Structure 1
Amino acid sequence: MATAFTETIPPSLPVPSTNGTISLDTYDEEQVRLMEERCILVTPEDKAYGEDSKKTCHLMSNINTGLLHRAFSVFLFRPKDGKLLLQKRADEKITFPSMWTNTCCSHPLSIKSELVEENQAGVKSAAIRKLPQELGIPESQLKPEDFIYLTKIHYLAPSDGLWGEHEIDYIMFSTIDVDLEINPNEVSDAKYVSKQELETMFSESGNSFTPWFKLIARDLLYPWWDEMLEKSKAEGWNLEKGEGRVNAKVLANGPRVGDLIKMI
């Protein structure tokens, strides 16, 4: 059952009906361990009211009752050319295995540092925890001020008949140089792509993509990507001459920043 933070859960909010009855014996041992992490339960207005395991939050039997948790999606761009870093989720992943997606997508946990809502400090702290775990980026290269919060989306996406996602997902851009040493239990491949290269990937039948990444790319990513590149050019970035850098901070306080966008 969900654990309340400071008050009893109102009757109108969903309470998980299925958790320990689903066996994880056939899944990867490390991925099973991660399923015990404690996600933050939220209302459709993104008000935190409790916590439960990652396993419980991702079972469709609970999602279908309305169980909703908080998440984040990082889009990390290379400053010299504005290319986006993609990752391909490992075959071992329990949800959405072997799919291409944005740089890093995960969940803030129900711990003190990741529950802080002011200036999105909690989700930024979670990103700084997960980027090293998944992609081997040294934590010393990651600073909260380098993550530019743009908006949050409410979406629902089944993975298969058993698992899925139902999240309020905080979207953050970052433009920093990083070193990669990918964790093969989390990520099977990673590469930087331009807009045109990403569009080509989407058109190729052999590629599959996470549903949240497809949603964000369809409605949000390309306009923000264009805006970031154009405003960075105005501030001195010139790819041909190798001058300046792409800077996500030019998007701060731009259109739709801070809105909660429903994609369900």
Structure 2
Amino acid sequence: MTTEEHVVLVDRDGHALGTAPKLAVHGRETPLHLAFSSYVFDHEGRVLLTRRADSKLTWPGIWTNSCCGHPLPGEPLERAVERRLSYELGLAMDRVDLMLPAFSYRAVMANGIVEHELCPVYRVTVTSPAVPNPAEVGETMWMPWKEFAEGVRNGLLAVSPWCQEQVPLLADLGADPLTWHPASPAELPPAARP
């Protein structure tokens, strides 16, 4: 017997309001809920991009950052990042750092489905190769960060709406993603603090 996955609902200030089934919250009236985005880098500063599986409910087949997901109720965000990277890409993390603690966005697909997330962003470094789970990831590609960031900023690369918003914020942290200074976990929204 499998248990239905729940997400943490939050208010605009990042306080937990309760939980709801994950499948029930992604629709035309998606409430704000807790999530995360991660950007995986190798030790050469290349970023791992993923094309979302065609079976995904939101933005199927679209290129995006390495991995996104939702923490389970009570699960620390770093643990959720680790869990989803292992499940989606077969990756073990060398290091995980909080970069954008309060990132939030709302995006609407052409069919009316809304994504509405309070979504802290993490930098992850790895040395192991990615082994994509086809249920989650259609394709992967490593790209030099500078080339990727410039492509997104100049509109030359089509990526998910959250990635489109996150990349300029990350690029503002400096040219070399391996030297970005991490944010403090104390800056996380209350519902996401350890």
TM-score (norm 2): 0.84
Secondary structure of the structure 2 residue equivalent to 1:39: strand
State the shift of 1:259 in Å: 7.0
Equivalents in 1 of 2:48, 2:145: separation in Å? 11
2:158 to 208, 214, 229: 208
Find the structure with the greater CA-based Rg. 1
Equivalents in 2 of 1:259, 1:37: separation in Å? 23
Q: Which has the higher contact order (CA 8 A, sep 6+)?
A: 2
Question: Is the CA contact 1:227–1:251 (under 8 Å) kept in the aligned structure 2?
Answer: no
Secondary structure of the structure 2 residue equivalent to 1:193: strand
Paired residue for 2:80? Answer: 126
Change (3 A) 1:159 1:225: farther
Paired residue for 1:82? Answer: 45
Equivalents in 2 of 1:194, 1:225: separation in Å? 14
2:22 to 35, 51, 54: 54
Structure 1: gaps of 5 or more residues: 1-32, 115-121, 232-249
Residues 53-74 of structure 1 show CA distances to partners (whole Å, capped at 9, x for unaligned) of: 11222112x23xxx21000001
Paired residue for 1:94? Answer: 57
Bigger strand share: 2
Change (3 A) 1:40 1:163: same
Equivalents in 2 of 1:96, 1:41: separation in Å? 21
Structure 2: gaps of 5 or more residues: 190-194
Equivalents in 1 of 2:14, 2:137: separation in Å? 29
State the shift of 1:258 in Å: 2.7
Secondary structure of the structure 2 residue equivalent to 1:134: helix
Does 2:181 align with 1:217? no
Does 2:107 align with 1:147? no
Paired residue for 2:181? Answer: 251
Bigger helix share: 1
Paired residue for 1:69? Answer: 33
Equivalents in 2 of 1:71, 1:210: separation in Å? 15
Q: What letter corresponds to residue 57 of structure 1 in structure 2?
A: V
Paired residue for 2:118? Answer: 168
Residues 113-132 of structure 1 show CA distances to partners (whole Å, capped at 9, x for unaligned) of: x1xxxxxxx11111111111
Question: Is the CA contact 2:93–2:125 (under 8 Å) kept in the aligned structure 1?
Answer: no
Question: Is the CA contact 1:228–1:251 (under 8 Å) kept in the aligned structure 2?
Answer: no
TM-score (norm 1): 0.63
Secondary structure of the structure 2 residue equivalent to 1:127: helix
Equivalents in 2 of 1:77, 1:102: separation in Å? 11
Change (3 A) 1:179 1:225: farther
State the shift of 1:195 in Å: 3.1
Secondary structure of the structure 1 residue equivalent to 2:13: coil
Equivalents in 2 of 1:73, 1:45: separation in Å? 19
Residues 212-241 of structure 1 show CA distances to partners (whole Å, capped at 9, x for unaligned) of: 0000113x1212251545x4xxxxxxxxxx
Change (3 A) 1:225 1:130: farther
Does 2:147 align with 1:197? yes
RMSD between superposed Cα atoms in Å: 2.4
Taking the TM superposition and a 5 Å limit, the aligned residue runs for 1:17-36 are 36=4
Equivalents in 1 of 2:109, 2:155: separation in Å? 21
Equivalents in 2 of 1:136, 1:55: separation in Å? 24
Count of equivalent residues: 184
Q: What letter corresponds to residue 181 of structure 1 in structure 2?
A: V
